[in-house]
Structures are given as C-alpha cells and as structure tokens.
Amino acid sequence: MDYFEFYGLPVSFNPDAAEVKKQFYALSKKYHPDFYINESVEKQDEVLELSTLNNKAYQVLGNPQKLLPYVLELKGLVTEGEHYTLPQDFLMEMMDVNEALMDLQFDPDAEKLAAQVKEIDAIEAGMQAELTTLKDAFDTSGSADDLLKIKDLYYRTKYLYRIRESLAKIKA
C-alpha cells in the first residue's frame, strides 16, 4: 500500500500538511502497539507493521526532499540504480562549473570562489523555481509531461548536490 492510499490522500507533490499530520496522529492512536498487548501474536505483528508504515508515511509525506523521489517512484518514473541521461547542455554547463572548482582547488582565490558560489546558487534557485511550478502544475492537472520534466529536474538537482559537496571540500 502506498503512503497516499494509507492516509486516504490523493497523490501530490504538495500534500496538505495539516491533513498528513491529522492522519498520522489518528493512525498512531489506532495502531499503537500498547492497545494490542492482549491480542494474538499475529495481530500484534500486524499492528506493529501498520504502526511502522504510519511512521514511514509521515516521514516521507512530510519531507519535500523525500516526497519528490517517492512520487516519481510511485508513478514508475524513477527506479533504484537507474542510469538517467541528463541533457547535453546541462552537462556542458556543469562541466564548466566543475572545471572552475578544480582550478580553485589548485589555486585558491576567495573572489573567484565567491563568484562560483553565486553562480551555483543561481542555477539551483532557477531549478527550484521551475520545480515548484511543475509540481504545482502536476498537482492540478496530473500531466505525464509535467512528471517527465520533474524527473529531469530531480536528476539535475542530484547532480548539483554533488557539485555542492565538492564546493564544501574547497571551502573547508
């Protein structure tokens, strides 16, 4: 059972936070293991499983970083170990950024580093703005085209995260 179904909510990149919390607390009470102490071992195991499912659902549905890949996986667009091919123009842009970061590792320059951070921040802000727009559009229309664009941005942000890790090593 998927987390949205478990909570009785529609699949969304922006689930109603109050409703998610409400469902979590209601199901936490309903499936609290202490209420089933006198039940059979099978029933106790079932309740423990449902309680665990409730906790996992709340952790995912309440966290946008976990929710995005979860919805994409639920829709069959992201699979573990997938080798997604990013667009060539994005890869070329990231190659330039990576080269600039490598240069900064060998020849530190605070001014160039600040400029690089500013450029990375701008790229990330643009991607996040586009992602927000697409997630809102999907929640309204359920468009498969929007999902494919969201998937692409998801992988781009993962790539950018690795660049941020490289940047953190340079700053250290």
CATH 1.10.287.110 fits 3-62, yes or no: yes
Contacts of residue 134, defined as CB under 8 A and 6 or more positions apart, other chains included, come to: 146, 149, 150, 153
Report the alpha-carbon distance of residue 59 to residue 50 in Å, rounded: 14
Contacts of residue 122, defined as CB under 8 A and 6 or more positions apart, other chains included, come to: none
Report the alpha-carbon distance of residue 164 to residue 171 in Å, rounded: 10
pLDDT of 172 higher than 80: no
Q: In the predicted model, what is the mean pLDDT of residues 26-43?
A: 93
The pLDDT of residue 2 is 96
Summarised one tens digit per residue, pLDDT across range 95-151 is 999 999 999 999 999 999 999 999 999 999 999 999 999 999 999 999 999 999 999
- CB of 64 closer than 8 Å to CB of 132: no
pLDDT cut 70: percent of the chain above it: 100
The pLDDT of residue 103 is 93
List, as one string, the DSSP characters of 35-64.
GGTTS-HHHHHHHHHHHHHHHHHHHHHT-H
